[in-house]
Every structure is written in structure tokens, then in C-alpha cells.
Amino acid sequence: MLSIRLLRHGKLHQPSYKIVVIEKTRPPKSGKFVEQVGFYNPFTKEKGFNADRIKYWISNGAQPSDTMNNLLVKNKIIEGVKIAAHSIKKKKKGETEAPKKPVAEVAKKEEPSVPKAVEIKPEQGVSQPEPEEKQKQDKGEEAKTG
């Protein structure tokens, strides 16, 4: 299967890319591509596309990579929607994915609930003084007796 993707070349920290049609199983830096159909320099924002050849290869089954698809859509060579080209982060071994709940259920559960007020009724006939009041009473009695 053929793909249209970027082939990096240029100096260290100064990349420039060839846009090539290459067999999907080949490594990107192999240099063995079917056809070069353009170039892209991210520093100078200079780019050149052979639109006729790109459309020809796509019609013959070549698939553009995610980044290449976004470049072609941005430059209006092909019509379509941009694809998220970022990679998915790998999870650690101990980390497991929690099951996702439907949005409707989560919205229902997150409704603010008013906590019920709990009334404490003192027992009738028996009144117990607070511990602080007891201490004050004890000090007052000691002062009187002493």
C-alpha cells in the first residue's frame, strides 16, 4: 500500500521535508520512494506541491499521512477535514482506565443536592451542663471554699 508522507532531510535542528509517495512498510528515512511530489520547509514556511501528481496518486489508492492530509487540506489541494495528528500517550502499567459513564447520567448525578438539616433535640427533664460550664462552676466553688 502506498502512502504520501513527509521525508525529513536537512541540517540538525533545521529540518526540511520532501513530500514523497512511498511504500507504507518502508521506514521513513530509507530514501527509496516511488516519486517526490513536493517539498515543505517549516522554518521559512516555504512549500511546493505538485497538485496534479498528488491527486493522481490519491486516486490510485495512496493514503496521505495525518500531517500530510492536514497540509493538503490547508493548502486546498484536497477537500476534507483535518485529522488530529498527535500521538496517543501510553499509560503506565499500574494505571487502568475507568469505565466512562454517559454524559446524561453524569449530569443527573451532579445536580446540587441540599443536605438535610439534622435537628438535635435535648432530652426532656435532664439538662447536662457543657464541660466548659462545669469547669467554671468547679473553679467558682474552689474559690468560695478556699
- Taking the whole predicted model, whether its pTM rises above 0.85 is answered as no
Q: Please report the pLDDT score of residue 30 as a whole number.
A: 79
Q: Answer whether residue 104 is part of any domain.
A: no
Does residue 57 contact residue 71 with C-beta atoms inside 8 Å? no
- Return phi, psi of residue 58, to 5°: -65, -40
Tell me: pLDDT of 108 over 60: no
Paired strand residues for 46? 41
CATH (domain of 32): 3.30.1320.10
Asked whether residue 86 is domain-assigned, the answer is no
Residue 28: inside a domain: yes
Report the domain count for the chain. 1
48 inside domain: yes
Structural contact between residues 62 and 21, judged by C-beta atoms closer than 8 angstroms: yes
| Structural domain includes residue 25 | yes
Starting at the edge strand that comes first in sequence, how are the strands of the sheet with 2-11 ordered? 46-49, 35-41, 14-23, 2-11, 63-64
9-66 residue pLDDT tens:
999 999 999 999 999 898 877 778 999 999 999 999 999 999 999 999 999 999 999 9
Torsion angle of alpha carbons 130, 134, 135, 139, nearest 10°? 150
54: burial class by Cβ within 10 Å (0-12, 13-18, 19+)?
buried
| Confidence tier at 80 by pLDDT (50, 70, 90) | confident
Residue 45 lies in a domain: yes
Is position 110 within any domain? Answer: no
Which residues span the domain enclosing 23?
A: 2-74
53 occurs within a structural domain: yes
DSSP at 133: H
